[in-house]
A and B are shown apart, each in its own frame.
Chain A
Amino acid sequence: MVKTNNMGFLDFVFGKKKEKRSIRLANKEGLCGIVYGSPIPQFVIDKNHTIVYWNNALAQYSGMKSKDMIGTSRQWQAFYDYERPCLADLLVDRKTSLIPRLYRGKYAKSKLVPEAYEAVDFFPKMNGKGKWLYFTASLIRDEKGRITGAVETLEDITERKIAEEAIKKHAGKLKKSKEALLVAVKNLDAEKTNLGREKARAEAILMSIGDGLVITEGKNGKILLANRAFEQIIGWSEEEIIGRSLFEVMPAQDAEGNPVLPEKRFISRVLEGERPETSTFYYRRKDGSCFPGAVTVTEIGFEGKKLGAVSVLRDVTREIEIDHAKTEFISLASHQLRDAPTAIGWCVEMLLNGTQGPLTENQKEYVEEIYRRNKSAISLINDLLNVSRIDMGVFVIEPEKVSLKEICENELKQFALQIEEKHLRVETGYDAGLPQIDADPGLLGVVFQNLISNAIHYTGEGGIIKINIKLDLAADKHKNKKIVFSVADTGCGIPLRQQDKIFQRMFRADNAKAARSGGSGLGLYVVKEILDQAGWGVRFDSEENKGATFYVNIPLSGMVPREGQTKLTRGVV
């Protein structure tokens, strides 16, 4: 049995051999002081696992006093909740094979002391909050090499461990951030590749568009990009014009040859917030020649700022040629088509006016029928020409200050004969103080004429026609006041089932065909087209056999002028 006092421990360590005692005594006292005073917690067991030494530092750490521990084998209580061997116990029993199982992943063979093991573990029970301990156990042998016990030294590494954990955690975080960063970079690369691909695709599309495309920056029209079609149209290569002002590279002039100032160019106007209609200017090529170009400009904005513009340019030489050819054809055809009816009309007029001698009643009737039919033919020719002009696209609108009443009265005058023949009663009502309106008198004449003509043609003998021009002071939803022109008749009306087709070209309602054989079905189509293009409106109320009322809404603002290739013409009555 090992002695249970502290001196006994030294005896135990240094042995009791008398011959060596003197030396050892001298050492013993010194050592005793050192060991007991050591700030490093340690304990020693003998080969039977009995604690022979439990120093103050360990007592403080574990809360277990040396006098209670020495002589017992309760060393485990300092560390564990249950009875189990400590590292020192395993060494004493030479059961190092159990170390891996009991200290899995936490132990290592000492590199400094033979047969010693070290380990790091967390002891949740210690000191309330638990402690991280680094502990070393090594064997104690006597002179003959026999195992007499083992010593276990502990080091509190909690602080270090916490720091390490913090570092680890931090490092983990860092690693994660780094990984995230790498992923982001990778994504960015992918995005960049995608963007690159998108850009390449967009560029490929832009470059291969058949229309000329030029992207400019700012009000000076600095060229940033121009596609192949643009290069071909204007004769400059992209390299030659990048960075230069489009206005300088491609000067514009109007149809009369007057230069178009930069601020009047579409790009400038679009950047000023205007919405100019696409119309044609003549642009100069590199070689000095000019071509008619249609330009559509779209602004490029970013966060509300206008940065530049995308302009799409089309050389419309061919279209203009075709337009000219068409216009030419129509005007020549119209000239030829009118030749015969002109001659017929004038000759019949000479017969009817009596200068060529009197006609018999019978002759007069025949000649009058020729006269009427000739007028129908002329009217049809005029309608057809107007329709073909409308179909060609743009007819001229030339507004001037007009009196609606005057135009209406003029048109009405043309029908005096028919009104008389059919014994129609025409009642007109014009509001006092009708303002003059900016309107194209020719177009307005065509509209009024067609509506009045329909009322007269489709109203039976003795019927009533009411023509009104009234100021409508009730403002519409756009707060615009208007004038309403209306023609009401007591004629055959429009059957309900055909009312939706009444403005279609060549459409004639069944009852209208029966009432009058000569109509072309073009009049209302022309009326609708004119009023639509002038931005006005036409509507009607009708009940079959009771009559029809057509209304034209005339805004006080009148018509907006418009350039065009053709003029529509009033026909004859």
Chain B
Amino acid sequence: MRESPKIMEKTKKKKILIVDDEPFLVRALREKLETEGFLVDSAADGQAGLDVVFSLAPDLILLDLVMPKMDGMAMLRKLRQDERGKKIPVIVLSNLNNAKSIDASLAAGAQKFLVKVNNSLDDIVCAVKSQLK
């Protein structure tokens, strides 16, 4: 074990990737998650999200669905096709909540589907923690 305690401490932190195109939502989420002791990175669309996944190797992804360039569903499918992304838990966090979106997300390999408006930041932290247990 040659790593410094600081790095070790840092690596113990779970890395969360937020993929969402709304800066203020991302900001609130990021601050909340960081307060809860997570390392947080973010991307504003699916394509950028995939890039971060391959460089950061997050422990969990919070994924919005409706985004420019590449939407959440497309990113999720690509993610699951890639060796590096196959096993990363994904919580879909969207204000879409029709049966089709929910079913499609879960079928494409998402672990959970949360409707943003119905969940407080606290609820989301709970969901993240229980997913990482």
| Minimum distance in angstroms from A367 CB to a CB of chain B | 14
Q: Is the CB of B97 within 8 A of A350?
A: no
Of B27-35, B52-60, B79-87, B104-112, which stretch is located at the interface? B27-35
Q: Is the CB of B95 within 8 A of A350?
A: no
* 6 contacts across the A-B interface (CB closer than 8 A): A330-B98, A338-B116, A343-B28, A346-B28, A349-B121, A378-B117
How far is B31's CA from A353's CA once the two chains are assembled, in angstroms? 11
Q: Does B99 contact A (CB under 8 A)?
A: yes
Q: Does A339 contact B (CB under 8 A)?
A: yes
With A335-B96, A339-B95 given, is the CB distance from A350 to B28 under 8 Å?
yes
Q: Does B122 contact A (CB under 8 A)?
A: yes
Size bracket of the B interface: 20 to 34
| Minimum distance in angstroms from A328 CB to a CB of chain B | 9
Most buried by A among B29, B31, B116: B116
| Minimum distance in angstroms from B123 CB to a CB of chain A | 9
Of A173-181, A494-502, A564-572, which stretch is located at the interface? A564-572
Q: Is the CB of A572 within 8 A of B32?
A: no
| Minimum distance in angstroms from B20 CB to a CB of chain A | 11
| Minimum distance in angstroms from A548 CB to a CB of chain B | 27
**Given A339-B22, A381-B117, 19 new contacts (CB under 8 A):** A327-B98, A334-B95, A334-B97, A335-B66, A339-B95, A341-B117, A342-B95, A342-B116, A343-B25, A345-B120, A349-B28, A349-B32, A350-B31, A396-B99, A565-B99, A566-B99, A567-B102, A570-B118, A572-B119
How far is B102's CA from A567's CA once the two chains are assembled, in angstroms? 9
B-chain residues with CB within 8 Å of residue A350 when the two chains form the complex: 28, 31-32, 121
A-chain residues with CB within 8 Å of residue B32 when the two chains form the complex: 346, 349-350, 353, 355
A-chain residues with CB within 8 Å of residue B66 when the two chains form the complex: 335
A-chain residues with CB within 8 Å of residue B29 when the two chains form the complex: 346
What 0/1 pattern do residues 438 to 471 of A give for CB contact below 8 A with B?
A: 0000000000000000000000000000000000
- A-side residues, CB < 8 A to B, are 327, 330-331, 334-335, 338-339, 341-343, 345-347, 349-350, 353, 355, 378, 381-382, 396, 564-567, 569-572
B-chain residues with CB within 8 Å of residue A342 when the two chains form the complex: 25, 95, 116-117
Q: Is the CB of A331 within 8 A of B28?
A: no
| Minimum distance in angstroms from A384 CB to a CB of chain B | 13
Q: Does B47 contact A (CB under 8 A)?
A: no
With A349-B122, A350-B31, A378-B117 given, is the CB distance from A331 to B22 under 8 Å?
no
Q: Is the CB of A331 within 8 A of B101?
A: yes
Interface hits, B67-104 → A, CB 8 Å: 94-102
What 0/1 pattern do residues 1 to 35 of B give for CB contact below 8 A with A?
A: 00000000000000000000010110011011001
A-B contact count (CB 8 A): 77
B-chain residues with CB within 8 Å of residue A564 when the two chains form the complex: 99
A-chain residues with CB within 8 Å of residue B99 when the two chains form the complex: 396, 564-567
| Minimum distance in angstroms from A107 CB to a CB of chain B | 107
Q: Does B115 contact A (CB under 8 A)?
A: yes
- B-side residues, CB < 8 A to A, are 22, 24-25, 28-29, 31-32, 35, 66, 94-102, 115-122
| Minimum distance in angstroms from A337 CB to a CB of chain B | 8
Q: Is the CB of B22 within 8 A of A572?
A: no
How far is B36's CA from A350's CA once the two chains are assembled, in angstroms? 13
With A343-B22, A350-B28, A355-B31 given, is the CB distance from A572 to B98 under 8 Å?
no
How far is B67's CA from A145's CA once the two chains are assembled, in angstroms? 145
- Which 4 A/B pairs are nearest by Cβ-Cβ distance? A338-B95, A338-B117, A331-B98, A567-B99
Q: Is the CB of B95 within 8 A of A378?
A: no
A-chain residues with CB within 8 Å of residue B101 when the two chains form the complex: 331
How far is B115's CA from A396's CA once the two chains are assembled, in angstroms? 18
A-chain residues with CB within 8 Å of residue B119 when the two chains form the complex: 572
How far is B102's CA from A345's CA once the two chains are assembled, in angstroms? 23
Contact of B24 among A327, A335, A347, A396 (CB under 8 A): A347
Q: Is the CB of B24 within 8 A of A349?
A: no
| Minimum distance in angstroms from B14 CB to a CB of chain A | 19
With A343-B22, A350-B31, A396-B99 given, is the CB distance from A382 to B118 under 8 Å?
yes
Q: Is the CB of A331 within 8 A of B96?
A: yes
With A355-B35, A567-B102, A569-B115 given, is the CB distance from A346 to B95 under 8 Å?
no
Contact of B98 among A355, A381, A567 (CB under 8 A): A567
How far is B124's CA from A353's CA once the two chains are assembled, in angstroms? 15
How far is B31's CA from A399's CA once the two chains are assembled, in angstroms? 38
Q: Is the CB of A345 within 8 A of B117?
A: yes
| Minimum distance in angstroms from B42 CB to a CB of chain A | 15
With A331-B97, A396-B99 given, is the CB distance from A347 to B117 under 8 Å?
no
| Minimum distance in angstroms from B110 CB to a CB of chain A | 16
How far is B118's CA from A567's CA once the two chains are assembled, in angstroms? 15
How far is B116's CA from A571's CA once the two chains are assembled, in angstroms? 11
| Minimum distance in angstroms from A396 CB to a CB of chain B | 5
| Minimum distance in angstroms from B128 CB to a CB of chain A | 15
B-chain residues with CB within 8 Å of residue A396 when the two chains form the complex: 99
| Minimum distance in angstroms from B122 CB to a CB of chain A | 7
- Nearest-CB residue, chain A, relative to B29: A346
B-chain residues with CB within 8 Å of residue A338 when the two chains form the complex: 95, 115-117
B-chain residues with CB within 8 Å of residue A382 when the two chains form the complex: 117-118
How far is B37's CA from A67's CA once the two chains are assembled, in angstroms? 160
B-chain residues with CB within 8 Å of residue A335 when the two chains form the complex: 66, 94-96
B-chain residues with CB within 8 Å of residue A381 when the two chains form the complex: 117
